[in-house]
Amino acid sequence: MELPERVTLIEVGPRDGLQNEKNFIPTKNKIEFISLLKNAGFQEMELTSYVSPKWVPQMQDAETVVENCLDDARNFVLAPNKKGIELATESGVKHVAVFVGVSNTFNQKNINKTTEESMNELRPLIENLKRKGYFVRACISTSFYCPFEGRIDENDVLKVCQDFEEMGVDELSVADTIGMANPRDSYELFTLLKHHLRATTLLTAHFHDTRGMAIANIFASMQAGIDRFDTSAGGLGGCPFAPGASGNVASEDVVYMLSQMGISTGIHMDKLLAAVAYISPLLSKPVSSKQFSLLKNVSQHQ
């Protein structure tokens, strides 16, 4: 088996995890959640997003979250357009994450533009960020399946990735937005991308766990050479504009699998579970990750 010795987990719970929450989570609780996650060892994290508060009310406190959470780590803030990138850079962020869907229909529902319109808007903005020394991550949604258009052609994913590479992005986070990919899809797409993309571009896989396939997809992607995964504490998450998308793969379940396989992540499991325990009473749904459920069952029987 070809497996990495070390894997980097990018914690996306504070952004992808919380963006879909019905009830507004008070800003001070978001800040404490982020602090607990940092304490668990995450060196890379999506903190929040600069998006329209009308479209995603949960992220309306982005500025305050950023003000309180920036440190020397790789703190990503999502921004889909010119206004979002301006707000991010004004707030002192050094790591910007743009996002685009390979599927036109999804992109329109998510950011009110076709994929091509988004790419054309982002090109000069990304080039400008790179000239100024920012780290740019590009999140690529619906890379396997789209809730509106069905199966996505892998060459269309490759084309979006290559266009981003030409703009100078540092990282591509390739996403199974609605959790429909299977391990064979994952192995094949990441093998193709690894083969055609530059070795210097960081390639990250982002799996949602709608159908319970995410952990198997991570295993398959590692065999295609991927050693970076977006994960979400408690398995929170989902995109409000992708019907059928449930949470991201749970960070604690991935940490468990990798540590059992002798692959290091640098994440401290007890501290990660403490962060999940902190946020869970504030959520509208119970946390369903395997590791957190085990912990709860054990403490109920003690």
Q: DSSP secondary structure string, 243-261?
A: TT--PBPBHHHHHHHHHHT
Name the minimum Å distance from CB 17 to Mg ion.
Answer: 9
Residues in region 45-64 near ligand HMG by CB under 6 A: 49-52, 55-56
Closest to ligand HMG by CB, 87 or 96: 87
Contacted by 51, from Mg ion, ligand HMG, none: CB < 5 to 8 Å by type: ligand HMG
C-beta separation of 218 from 229 below 8 A: yes
Residues in region 144-183 near ligand HMG by CB under 6 A: 175, 177
Of 119, 131, 129, the C-alpha closest to 156 is: 119
Q: Which two tokens stand for residue 204?
A: 């990250």
Q: Which two tokens stand for residue 216?
A: 């198997």
Closest to ligand HMG by CB, 19 or 251: 19
205 binds ligand HMG (CB under 6 A): no
251 binds ligand HMG (CB under 6 A): no
195 binds ligand HMG (CB under 6 A): no
Those residues with Cβ within 8 angstroms of residue 155's Cβ, 6 or more apart along the chain or in another chain: none
What b/e readout covers 126-147, taking b as 16+ CB neighbours within 10 angstroms? beebeeeebbbbbbbbbbbbbb
Q: Confirm whether 161 is a catalytic residue.
A: no
204 binds ligand HMG (CB under 6 A): no
User: What residue ranges bind Mg ion (CB under 5 A)?
Assistant: 16
115 binds ligand HMG (CB under 6 A): no
Cα–Cα distance list, 137 to 72, 119, 202, 236 (Å): 17, 14, 9, 21
Q: By CB under 6 A, how many residues form the interface with ligand HMG? A: 26
Name the minimum Å distance from CB 112 to ligand HMG.
Answer: 3
218 binds ligand HMG (CB under 6 A): no
User: In sequence order, which ranges of the chain are alpha helices (DSSP H)?
Assistant: 18-19, 27-39, 62-69, 82-90, 104-111, 115-131, 154-167, 183-196, 214-223, 251-260, 269-279, 290-300
Closest to ligand HMG by CB, 79 or 152: 79
CB atoms within 10 A of CB 222: 23
Mind telling me the catalytic residues? Answer: 239
Q: Which residues of the chain form contacts with ligand HMG (CB under 6 A)? A: 16, 19, 49-52, 55-56, 79-81, 83-84, 87, 99, 110-112, 139, 141, 175, 177, 206, 208, 239, 241
